[in-house]
Amino acid sequence: MFLTKINSKYFFQMLILAIVLLTRTVCNAQFSKDQKPKNLKVLPSNIEGEELKKIMQGFTAALGVKCNFCHDDSKTADFGPMDYSSDVKKEKQVARTMITMVNNINSDLLKKSREIESDIGEVACVTCHRGASHIDQLEDILFRTYKRGGLEAAMSRYNELRKRYFGSYTYDFRDHTLLSFSSKVSEQGNVDDALAIVLKNCELFPESSPSFTFLGDLYLKRSDNEKAISNFEKAVRLDPNNRFANGQLKKLKDLEKK
């Protein structure tokens, strides 16, 4: 047999070489600067490889995705190359319209603004996307999840997103997000669920006067005036200028006197 004829040291050297070569080919398949683009419809067709690479890497960072979010990777499963010129993915087609939109905003709409105020910057993918492909606000994502799967599903989504995105610029994890979410839930008549959301928010933000105001208001909706008062009082302790909580307290205490 072939293997028995060569010594094992030589075999391992060959094996390592083969692995290095194979890895290089696979890496080059990720992005070949020498390969001329074949299917550019909105970017300049004579674009330099290095420039195209920068733009594409900008897309992945702006949307928080990998190249295969837009590009056909159906062949890479058996180590074939990515087919960057293919248009099968609808994300790539949408991205084209987005490139055109961004160009139009910068070259037309913002140019007009710049005639009025010279210190006006440019729009980029990241201006809207902030590291996510879908750009809804966190409270909307939560409300959608709530309508589909209930409170538990929404709160576990919140925890998941918080773990992944907290401290990044993608979603706003300040106190008002869960409060807006709770308002939407309460508007649907689900006061108990809204209360659970606000209680969670008070736990996360024990210094947030608005959170205790919301809590007071929800207890009021449940006609639990005692708890409403104590939470409005807490809201006022945290922020003596909280007009709404001060107003509610005055009303409730006047009621008690009657």
Q: Which residues bind ligand HEC (CB under 6 A)?
A: 30-31, 37-43, 52, 56-57, 59-60, 63, 65, 67, 69-71, 84-85, 91-92, 94-96, 98-99, 102, 123, 125, 127-129, 133-136
In the bound state with ligand HEC, the residue whose beta carbon lies nearer, of 14 and 27, is 27
**Shorter beta-carbon distance to ligand HEC: residue 136 or 160:** 136
Q: What does the alpha-carbon distance between residue 10 and residue 8 come to, in Å, rounded to a whole number?
A: 5
What minimum distance in Å lies between the beta carbon of 36 and ligand HEC?
A: 8
Q: How far is the CB of 186 from ligand HEC (least distance, A)?
A: 25
72 has which bridge partners? 83
Contact indicator for 161, 138 with CB cutoff of 8 Å:
yes
Specify the residue, 13 or 107, whose C-beta has the smaller distance to ligand HEC: 107
CB of 163 to ligand HEC, least distance (A): 21
Asked if 228 contacts 220 with a C-beta cutoff of 8 angstroms, the reply is yes
For tokens 């391992």, the residue is 12
**Shortest CB 70 distance to ligand HEC, Å:** 3
C-alpha to C-alpha distance for 90 and 32, rounded to whole angstroms: 23
- The least CB distance from residue 90 to ligand HEC, in Å, is 7
Which has the closest alpha carbon to 216: 173, 246, 184, 193?
Answer: 246
- Classify residue 79 as left (phi > 0), alpha (psi -120 to 50) or beta: left
Q: Which is nearer to ligand HEC, 23 or 127 (CB)?
A: 127
Smaller CB separation from ligand HEC, 28 or 57:
57
Asked whether 124 and 58 are in contact (CB, 8 A), the reply is yes
Q: For ligand HEC, give the closer residue by CB, 52 or 199.
A: 52
Q: How far is the CB of 115 from ligand HEC (least distance, A)?
A: 21
- What's the CA gap between 101 and 46, in Å, rounded? 21
Q: What b/e sequence results for 110-138 when a residue is b if at least 16 CB atoms lie within 10 Å of its CB, and e otherwise?
A: eeeeeeeeeeeeeeebeeebbbbeeeeeb
